[in-house]
Amino acid sequence: MGATRTPRGKWIEEGLRALAAGGPEAVRIESLAQALGVSKGGFYGYFGNRDSLLAEMLDTWEREVSEAVIERVESGAGDARAKLERLFTIATSSEGPVMGTTTELAVRDWARRDEAVAQRLRRLDNRRMEYLRSLFGSICPDEDEVEVRCMLTFSLRIGDHFIAADHGPHSRAEVMALTRQWLLR
């Protein structure tokens, strides 16, 4: 009986974990094989080279943080407010190598240094904003206000992790709940 082959998805997941921890430079075949407890030979059964792994990592990340999230939001019942609530819940509870904030920030940092990654990120951010516009547009007739709500929502998703401020008598969770209420008014 032959050895069990490490699934392709495990290589991608481990690559995303390495990306989150140390940027694209940390995605090295030898390191991934060591983390997976396998030889690097199995890598070449799936990927022609490191660049093909990086591209598949980005494909997986992009699919999971956009289309898969939209599918989860849309699969539930309710109006646009209910969908926005579901989206907020998914966005704030997302962790792991694909959905985690650390991976999101690592891809954003990578995009600052790689034009191809920047183009992908721009396309993804535009898709996310388009979806937010469709939801907020259902509850708010003013196009300018829709754009403001979308920008604030998206900015909170990315920027919340950089803000270390205290909120007086409120916890961060309380302020985020108040912000959600305000955005959904």
Task: Tell me the per-residue pLDDT of 105-139, one tens digit each, with 9 for 90 and over.
Answer: 999 999 999 999 999 999 999 999 999 999 999 99
Amino acid identity of residue 39, one-letter, is S
**Do residues 13 and 98 touch, judged by C-beta distance below 8 A?**
yes
- pLDDT for the residue numbered 92: 84
Higher pLDDT, 113 or 39: 113
**144-161, pLDDT tens digit by residue?**
999 999 999 999 988 888
* pLDDT on residue 2: 44
Mean pLDDT of the 42-71 span? 95
Q: Considering only residues 61 and 91, tell me which one the structure prediction assigns the higher pLDDT.
A: 61
Residue 78 pLDDT > 90: yes
Position 123: which residue type?
Answer: R
pLDDT category at 1 given cuts 50, 70, 90 is very low
Whether the predicted model's global pTM rises above the 0.85 cut: yes
% residues pLDDT > 90 (the chain) = 85
What is residue 4's predicted lDDT score, i.e. its pLDDT?
A: 61
Q: Where do the domains of the chain lie?
A: 55-183
pLDDT at 177 > cutoff 90: yes
